[in-house]
A and B are shown apart, each in its own frame.
Chain A
Amino acid sequence: MLMQGFATAMQPMYLLFALGGVLVGTAVGVLPGIGPAMTVALLMPITYSLEPTAAIIVFAGIYYGGMYGGSTTSILLNTPGESSSIVTALEGNKMAKAGRGAAALATAAVGSFVAGTIATVLLSFLAPYVAAFAVQIGPVEYVALMVVAFLTVGALLGSSVLRGLASLGLGLFIATVGFDSLTAQQRYTFGSPFLADGIDVVLVAVGLFAVGEALYVASRLRHGPIKVIPVTGGWTSWLRKDDLRRSWKPWLRGTLIGFPVGTIPAGGADVATFLSYASERKLAKGENKKQFGKGAIEGVAGPEAANNAAAAGVLVPLLTLGIPTTATAAMMLVAFQRYQIPVGPQLFESNSALVWALIASLYVGNLMLLVLNLPLVGIWVKILQIPRPYLYAGILVFAVLGAFSVNFTPIDVIILLIVGILGFFMRRFGYPIAPMVVGLILGPIFESQLRRSLAISQGDPVALVQSPVAATIYVVLIIIFGLSFLLKRRQRQFEAMVAENADAPDVVRGSAEAPEALAAPAATASTAPASTATATAPSREDTDR
């Protein structure tokens, strides 16, 4: 099956689409203010004329490319980054300042390639098994899985449980506007024909990600020149023997941490990078350990590998169960829906050719990224230096283009603006965006499955927890929550310590009071990787914008 996928993905036309996808993806990953989720949302209406396979291949390229691009920004840009990329920035930024930026970029790129490839292999082997299980589950189990996705994305990913749930609720609410799919009754349309068809997912996503972000950045734009740390030396001599010797183990460990975290509907790349960083620091010895905090290459290699492995892991529940666990995955799900591809447990069976072409294009895209990324670093640095007024004005233009292209009516642009203003205030007051998008997209599926389950049980809600599989899923959910709150506390300690050390960069880590605070998360990570992997930690999922 995979070979057939390769046969499709290797066609020159599709190779070109994959190339375009990874280039666009890397560019948006490099640029602050836009992420892969927003890009997929923007491109959806304007790639409508493409055939499904081509569009999905483009989106897969954007998905992987965005991960590569993000590391370049956090290594080379001299401003405190977002919380999701801060792990790479911790050591990578220090390395760049010490003139070792080239090595940091190289270990990030090669590590991303190694992790991406291994994780894609794991995906290829694991996905059919999960899919075989998935086709057997009924609406009751499906409801249970979606409850897990809602609660973990809503309550665990952000820094505030209530804000995450409020964001989720807003998404679910918008999802109910329009005709009820089962009884064709109008809901919350207030007699307006524009609301009868519901509010388009693309409008909400573009409004939240693009317009909301542009307005928010405009309100607090960082002024002055954009400081990019220069990279010296030819790219061929970037990864020295010594660097390679120190990097390959963190790459593999990062992959092993990242992939399972990504597959579980509680993951997200942030947790994986954090766990990887903590364990690398724990495992480092002697001279190398002292370098942590001052530019240790292991601290870049591990988290970057974990990041990419988690990105591949996220595709397992997405492709087999139709459950998105990040905003980007949610937008990929919308892309499937747009092209009339049924999402959910039957995706793998009914559209196996497309799914395998997608997986094959991930291998291809990963290789392209490795080959292109290092030689093109000059271009990425140029992109990083685009004047910010032009960048955010351009984001607005693309947003209105995408919104207008949904139905070719200016009213959609006005709806876009309203959603954008909502997104502005959500950012301002610390409400995470991803739960709203996931709620909006999964809401209608959730409702119909819920009603189907209750129709089968004739309205008896006990049936929802009576199935052994569903009951197991709920028990696992409770365990996830318990563990995550434990881990959350430890990560807070860890972050506090990192912040402390960042203020005083000359403090040698591993001395004085540091070991206790550090040993805690690292020990959990190394002793029980599988179970702690389910637990997640606070920090925003900014990579998913």
Chain B
Amino acid sequence: MSTSVQNAPGSGTAAAPGLPIGELIFALIIVSIGVVGFVAGAGIQTPPSASDIGPRAFPFAVSGLLVVVGAGLVIQVLRGHRGSADEGEDVDLDASTDWLTVGKLAGLVLLHAFLIVPLGWPIAAAILFFGAAWSLGARPWWRNLITAILLALVLQFVFGGLLGVSLPPGFLEGFGVFGG
């Protein structure tokens, strides 16, 4: 990918000898979810007629688990015990993190969510596929475009038309085969 970013801020978790900031933050987030669980859980109404253990006890127990485990993880990370990143056939663990591509993909999914209703599912999906394939390094652009359009039409036909999933057909409105 031509867009790969070297030494992007925050990507230091892979090789940097210092404190693994990202991993530490993640462990702290787990603790804070537990804390939020206690605070917000205090607002859960318990009907007086309920049995001995009401709707509040279980959320409290889970929050407690998160706080304890999260705190343990914070300590572990501070002591230098790191998690091992997930492996996979397509994953190159030695590569530096390509934040730009991750950001592009996340942005495209978000864009897709806003386009489904105004443009219809096929166009929104084609844009998502085209953008994602391009961000991941597929060239040339016209082949990506053709693939994206074909895929969107086939999916709209199979799921909207054949299986009766109510995907908004957009410009295909009125064509029965596309579920319009």
B114 proximal to A (CB < 8 A): yes
Residue interface bits A438-450, CB-to-B below 8 A is 1, else 0? 0000000001001
| CB <8 Å contact, B138 and A219 | no
Within 8 A of A (CB), among B48-78: 50-55, 57-59, 62-63, 65-66, 69-70, 72-73, 76
| CB <8 Å contact, A392 and B136 | yes
Q: Name which of A176, A217, A393 has the most chain B CB atoms within 10 A of its CB.
A: A393
| CB <8 Å contact, B102 and A540 | no
CA distance A49 to B113 in the complex (A): 24
Cβ of A450: which chain B residues have Cβ within 8 Å of it? 53, 58
What's the interface size class on B, roughly?
Answer: 35 or more
Cβ of B166: which chain A residues have Cβ within 8 Å of it? 408
A12 proximal to B (CB < 8 A): no
Residue interface bits A42-80, CB-to-B below 8 A is 1, else 0? 000111111000000000000000000000010001011
| CB <8 Å contact, B33 and A82 | no
Cβ of A91: which chain B residues have Cβ within 8 Å of it? none
CA distance A369 to B94 in the complex (A): 37
| CB <8 Å contact, A397 and B128 | yes
B7 proximal to A (CB < 8 A): no
Question: Closest chain B residue to A396 by CB distance?
Answer: B132
| CB <8 Å contact, B58 and A401 | no
B16 proximal to A (CB < 8 A): no
B165 proximal to A (CB < 8 A): yes
A185 proximal to B (CB < 8 A): yes
CA distance A77 to B90 in the complex (A): 10
Cβ of A392: which chain B residues have Cβ within 8 Å of it? 132, 136
A390 proximal to B (CB < 8 A): yes
A387 proximal to B (CB < 8 A): yes
Question: Closest chain A residue to B70 by CB distance?
Answer: A166
A394 proximal to B (CB < 8 A): yes
Cβ of A223: which chain B residues have Cβ within 8 Å of it? 1, 92, 137
A169 proximal to B (CB < 8 A): yes
CA distance A515 to B163 in the complex (A): 58
Cβ of B37: which chain A residues have Cβ within 8 Å of it? 173, 188
A126 proximal to B (CB < 8 A): no
Q: How far is the CB of A89 from chain B (nearest CB, A)?
A: 10
Cβ of A33: which chain B residues have Cβ within 8 Å of it? 88-90
Cβ of B63: which chain A residues have Cβ within 8 Å of it? 173
CA distance A216 to B159 in the complex (A): 28
| CB <8 Å contact, B52 and A455 | yes
A83 proximal to B (CB < 8 A): yes
Residue interface bits A449-481, CB-to-B below 8 A is 1, else 0? 011001100110000000000000000000000
Cβ of A404: which chain B residues have Cβ within 8 Å of it? 116, 121, 167
CA distance A370 to B98 in the complex (A): 41
| CB <8 Å contact, A405 and B165 | yes
Q: Name which of A176, A185, A218 has the most chain B CB atoms within 10 A of its CB.
A: A218
Q: Name which of A73, A185, A424 has the most chain B CB atoms within 10 A of its CB.
A: A185
| CB <8 Å contact, B102 and A413 | no
Q: Which of B91, B95, B109 contacts A396 (CB 8 A)?
A: B109
A130 proximal to B (CB < 8 A): no
Chain B interface SS verdict (over half): helix
CA distance A81 to B72 in the complex (A): 31
Q: How far is the CB of A156 from chain B (nearest CB, A)?
A: 15
Question: Closest chain A residue to B125 by CB distance?
Answer: A397
Question: Closest chain A residue to B60 by CB distance?
Answer: A176
Q: Which of B30, B72, B86, B147 contacts A430 (CB 8 A)?
A: B86
Cβ of A218: which chain B residues have Cβ within 8 Å of it? 98, 101-102, 105, 135-136
Q: A215-B106, A220-B95, A429-B22 are in contact. Are A542 and B88 (CB under 8 A)?
A: yes
| CB <8 Å contact, A429 and B23 | yes
The total of interchain contacts (Cβ-Cβ below 8 angstroms) comes to 251
B26 proximal to A (CB < 8 A): yes
| CB <8 Å contact, A454 and B53 | yes
| CB <8 Å contact, A176 and B62 | yes
A344 proximal to B (CB < 8 A): no
| CB <8 Å contact, A169 and B66 | yes
Chain A interface SS verdict (over half): helix
CA distance A454 to B58 in the complex (A): 12
Cβ of B137: which chain A residues have Cβ within 8 Å of it? 221, 223, 389
| CB <8 Å contact, A221 and B90 | yes
Cβ of A408: which chain B residues have Cβ within 8 Å of it? 166
| CB <8 Å contact, A220 and B98 | yes
CA distance A196 to B155 in the complex (A): 31
Cβ of B98: which chain A residues have Cβ within 8 Å of it? 218-221
A508 proximal to B (CB < 8 A): no
Q: Which of A73, A165, A217, A417 contacts B106 (CB 8 A)?
A: A417
Cβ of A388: which chain B residues have Cβ within 8 Å of it? 90, 136
Cβ of B66: which chain A residues have Cβ within 8 Å of it? 166, 169-170, 173
Residue interface bits B14-48, CB-to-A below 8 A is 1, else 0? 00000000110011001001100100110011110
A239 proximal to B (CB < 8 A): no
CA distance A381 to B52 in the complex (A): 60
Q: Name which of A77, A185, A223, A429 has the most chain B CB atoms within 10 A of its CB.
A: A429
Q: A217-B88, A417-B109 are in contact. Are A166 and B52 (CB under 8 A)?
A: no
Q: A396-B105, A430-B84 are in contact. Are A220 and B155 (CB under 8 A)?
A: no
Q: How far is the CB of B26 from chain A (nearest CB, A)?
A: 5
B172 proximal to A (CB < 8 A): no
Cβ of B92: which chain A residues have Cβ within 8 Å of it? 220-223
A162 proximal to B (CB < 8 A): yes
CA distance A180 to B112 in the complex (A): 33
Residue interface bits B137-165, CB-to-A below 8 A is 1, else 0? 11000000001000110010001000111
| CB <8 Å contact, A420 and B109 | yes
| CB <8 Å contact, A219 and B88 | no
| CB <8 Å contact, B65 and A414 | no
Q: How far is the CB of A121 from chain B (nearest CB, A)?
A: 33
Q: A185-B44, A420-B109 are in contact. Are A217 and B163 (CB under 8 A)?
A: no
Q: List 11 A-B contacts (CB under 8 A).
A: A81-B87, A182-B55, A185-B44, A187-B55, A221-B91, A221-B95, A389-B138, A393-B132, A400-B125, A431-B83, A459-B52
Q: A166-B69, A215-B105, A429-B85 are in contact. List 5 more A-B contacts (CB 8 A).
A: A220-B97, A387-B138, A401-B125, A405-B167, A430-B85
Which B residues contact A (CB, under 8 angstroms)? 1, 13, 22-23, 26-27, 30, 33-34, 37, 40-41, 44-47, 50-55, 57-59, 62-63, 65-66, 69-70, 72-73, 76, 82-93, 95, 97-99, 101-102, 105-106, 108-110, 112-114, 116-117, 121, 125, 128-129, 132-138, 147, 151-152, 155, 159, 163-167
- Give me the 7 closest cross-chain CB pairs, A-B, nearest first: A430-B83, A459-B52, A389-B136, A389-B138, A32-B89, A393-B132, A413-B113
